[in-house]
Structure 1
């Protein structure tokens, strides 16, 4: 094991070495080092297996590139975006770097866990975390915050195939509240004057995940659309939530945007009214509906859009037996109430 303290991806060390160097704690998964302007994150995918779930690990790349998921702090009860979790959510605002380590086996003759440094990360600036369902140490199901890390600009992460998120052991189905928090535009801190060693091979916290500004705007629009529609349904007395669907043999989870329990209707929202987005929504709904229990043959599937699509796109939805709701200029929703009621 190396005895240096340079934060170079691939370096194997212990929490004690990091704590002695940067002045942070050694026991929690999220350890802020305020004086050093850093937050150290220690991921141990095997830890969650004790409670029947594992949310930590390298997820499948999406259209924006690599993604690492990390379970937030809080052993029992719903996890909150405050405390140690808040130190991650505010890392850009406070000018702190986030450094990710993964458990790497125990030191011979010692109970101490070795830590392999993956690299500097940033939270996804559009969707910093997902809300998942999982048991706490007390066995009671609760909301879990699963943070979404992207490599900071200039970082080549030292993850391996072994760091990929484990596949689910069984197919499972959990009811969750819809995650309708709308991400705010990222405000970058002013240059603090702090220097970064060349050996660290990564840049300061000012660098953000390489998600184009236009796409950030689209994703925020989608969140705002779902939030407005949930409020619309609530005002009409409808019960809404969503689902977390894990599939045996596959990592991660399927997470539909919104389920209206009153109408037995499943919604997929898109931030743009384009043919490509509608086609994607049709495919997602077809996949989701296969796993929704209870009156599956009567489940209604609906695409939710921010504006009216073309007539041909409407025809496409009709031929696929997918209903359509879109937001009007006055903030209302055309197509709702849905055209007919299921028995």
Structure 2
């Protein structure tokens, strides 16, 4: 007798029961169900621990609300935004819902994992994924796609404290490429097909924030700014990269925007020239520089899309932070003088 799975946040089921109900596979972490108009995502933080890292879990809420991180498909080599990973990126365009499950112990008398349904998700409309560095199943370091899920509108996720992103076991860093991807904003899909139902035991008032279009434009401008500046530095013969910095006892990682290895300068980019944005950049740089290898002689700078006010420029000078901003002709403030550290 086939068991029908009703997608109610908090329900515990199996991959086999989900496959029998919705017509998807049972073996991969990302399982599209085309006829049902769904993509099923199975998160198992313990799987990553076998390789020496864990990127899966509920991250700290930000100004836009709850956030869940999920490691993409691909056991060895750099993960690509195609194949099963691509099924997440194209879900909105194809009108498919994304449904998130988390491993919930083994089925009695079997090696199969039970699955706890968290709820319907959408990819973050500003930034769909981060690129992280981690070992593959073969032990070789590679790029890993870490998808950024938000609860779909009207969804009350059934996550618990156990679903929190685990803390890093030790402080460490990896050299990464600068964040230069500038994807088009993704529209939030309307809910269709299987309905997501709330239950009394998961009635916490928690919904995903409606991320303003203005903020999307600001972060897109920031990405374009970093991309243009990297091209500028590359044309000048400079080597650039960034860092993924794990802090012992803390979840997630610090990820500076850009490091100019040739001039030993760390940059933090912002999509606006406001005082609030510059103050945030100053704080981020102060935090990052503590963990950068070879701190001797390291200089820090804020990268902006235009010239800030005179008083904001005075603030940066008082804090020993250089300023580089973009104009129609290039970048003012670069190269950075050595006496600005």
Question: Match for residue 312 of structure 1?
Answer: 311
Distance (Å, rounded) in 2 between the aligned partners of 1:72 and 1:195 = 25
Equivalent residues in 2 for 1:125-140 (5 A)? 125-140=125-140
Query: Is the CA contact 2:4–2:17 (under 8 Å) kept in the aligned structure 1?
Result: no
The answer for the alignment partner of 2:195 in structure 1 is 197
Does residue 55 (structure 1) correspond to residue 49 (structure 2)? The answer is: no
Displacement of 1:342 after TM fit?
A: 9.8
Q: Give deviations 1:269-310, integer Å, cap 9, x for gaps.
A: 00110111101000000000000011x131010000011011
| Distance of 1:315 and 1:137 partners within structure 2 | 50
Q: Does structure 1 retain, via aligned residues, the 8 Å contact 2:36–2:193?
A: no
Distance 1:318 1:6 in 2: 59
Question: What TM-score results when the alignment is normalised by the length of structure 2?
Answer: 0.94
Q: CA deviation at 1:188?
A: 6.3
**Distance change >3 Å, CA 9–CA 279, structure 1 → 2:** same
Post-superposition Cα deviations, 1:25-48, rounded to whole Å, max 9, x if no partner, equal 100000000111100000000110
Compared CA separation, residues 342 and 90, structure 1 to 2 (3 A)? same
CA contact (8 A) 1:76 1:142 kept: yes
Q: TM-score, normalised by structure 1?
A: 0.93
Residue of structure 1 in register with 2:279 after alignment: 279
User: Are 1:125 and 1:208, in contact at CA under 8 Å, matched by a contact in 2?
Assistant: no
Find the residue that maps to 1:39 and give its secondary structure: strand
Give the structure 2 partner of residue 204 of structure 1: none
* CA-based RMSD: 2.0
Aligned equivalent of 2:88: 88
Query: What's the CA shift string for 1:182-241, capped at 9, x where partnerless?
Result: 12133567x79x54436479xxxxx98621111111111111111111111111111111
Matching residue of 1:256: 256
Q: Would the aligned equivalents of 1:263 and 1:342 in 2 still touch at CA under 8 Å?
A: no
Matches of 1:69 and 1:265 in 2, distance apart? 30
Residues 6 and 200 of structure 1 are in contact (CA less than 8 Å); yes or no, is this contact kept in structure 2? no
SS of match in other structure, 2:148: strand
Structure 1 match to 2:217: 217
Superposition deviation, residue 254 in structure 1: 0.1
Q: Match for residue 118 of structure 2?
A: 118
Report deviation, 1:341: 7.8
Q: 1:303-328: CA deviations, max 9, x gaps?
A: 00011011111111111110000011
Structure 1 residues 101, 90: closer, same or farther in 2, change over 3 A?
same
Alignment-derived partner of residue 332 in structure 2: 334
Once the two structures are TM-superposed, the CA of residue 3 in structure 1 deviates from its matched residue by 4.6
Do the aligned partners of residues 340 and 278 (structure 1) sit closer, same or farther apart at CA in structure 2, a change above 3 Å counting? same
Change beyond 3 A, Cα 1:158–1:339: same
* Contact 1:273–1:305 (CA under 8 A) maintained in structure 2: yes
- Structure 2 residues not aligned, in runs of 5+: 200-206
| Whole-angstrom distance in 2 between the partners of 1:209 and 1:85 | 24
Unaligned runs of at least 5 residues, structure 1: 202-206
SS of the residue corresponding to residue 244 of structure 1 reads strand
Q: Go from structure 1 to structure 2 and tell me whether the alpha carbon gap of 1:126 and 1:117 turns closer, same or farther (over 3 Å shift).
A: same
Q: Aligned residue pairs: how many?
A: 333
Structure 2 matches for 1:1-343, cutoff 5 A?
A: 3-187=3-187, 195-197=193-195, 199=197, 210-294=210-294, 296-328=295-327, 330-340=328-338
Per-residue CA distance 1:55-112 (angstroms, 9 max, x = gap) = 0000001110100000000000000000000000111111110000000000111111
